[in-house]
Amino acid sequence: MADIALGTALAAIGAGVAIGFAGLGSGLGQGMAAAGSVGAVAEDNDMFARGIIFSALPETQAIYGFLIAILLLVFSGLLGGGKGLSVEAGLVAIGVGASIGFAGLGSGMGQGIAASSSVGAIVEDNDMFARGIIFGGILG
């Protein structure tokens, strides 16, 4: 069994932080959007497809976190071979993972709130669909 350099291990932690927190933000945001969508569908069955669209919007944060995690793992040598990282580079990788992870956490929740409110607005006025997508997309 090969020893893993400390810097490489730190990069793995950075990758976990990136996907973990970004995924958490996506999950919370999707839950908020889906909760609003369920209420809208209860009022108007035609809202189902639009509710699904708004519920999927916060998923982008998990995708961003996943991409950064894969990049950290590839460039650290954990995926695809290569030499290990220095401790300094590993600490940078933790910073990178934390920045995308925490940004994804906040952005996912904010996008979920905007999406949930948009679904409620569409029940009142069908013309709000495109505007709701724009508001939700700004946060993504």
Domain boundaries, the chain: 6-76+85-139
Residue 1 pLDDT > 50: no
Q: How far apart are CA 46 and CA 16, in angstroms?
A: 39
Residue 65 pLDDT > 90: yes
Sign of CA dihedral 96, 101, 107, 110: negative
pLDDT-derived band of residue 4, with 50, 70 and 90 as boundaries? Answer: confident
pLDDT-derived band of residue 80, with 50, 70 and 90 as boundaries? Answer: confident
Domain 6-76+85-139: assigned CATH number: 1.20.120.610
- For the whole model, what pTM was predicted? 0.88
In Å, what is the CA distance from 42 to each residue of 30, 45, 74, 109, 117?
18, 7, 46, 23, 15
The predicted structure's pLDDT at residue 3: 65
Residue 125 pLDDT > 60: yes
State what percent of residues in the chain have pLDDT above 90.
Answer: 85
Residue 81 pLDDT > 80: no
The predicted structure's pLDDT at residue 137: 87
The predicted structure's pLDDT at residue 2: 57
Q: How far apart are CA 77 and CA 54, in angstroms?
A: 38
The contacts found for 97-100 with CB under 8 angstroms, 24 or more apart, are 97/13, 97/14, 97/15, 97/16, 97/17, 97/18, 97/68, 97/69, 97/72, 98/14, 98/17, 98/18, 98/21, 100/18, 100/22, 100/64, 100/65, 100/68
Q: What is the mean pLDDT of residues 14-21?
A: 97
Residue 25 pLDDT > 60: yes
In tens, the pLDDT along 91-119 reads 999 999 999 999 999 999 999 999 999 99
- In the numeric block, which tokens belong to residue 94? 């933790």
CA-based Rg of the chain, rounded to a whole angstrom?
19
Please enumerate in sequence order all residues whose Cβ is within 8 A of that of 120, keeping only pairs 6 or more positions apart, or say none: 36, 39, 40
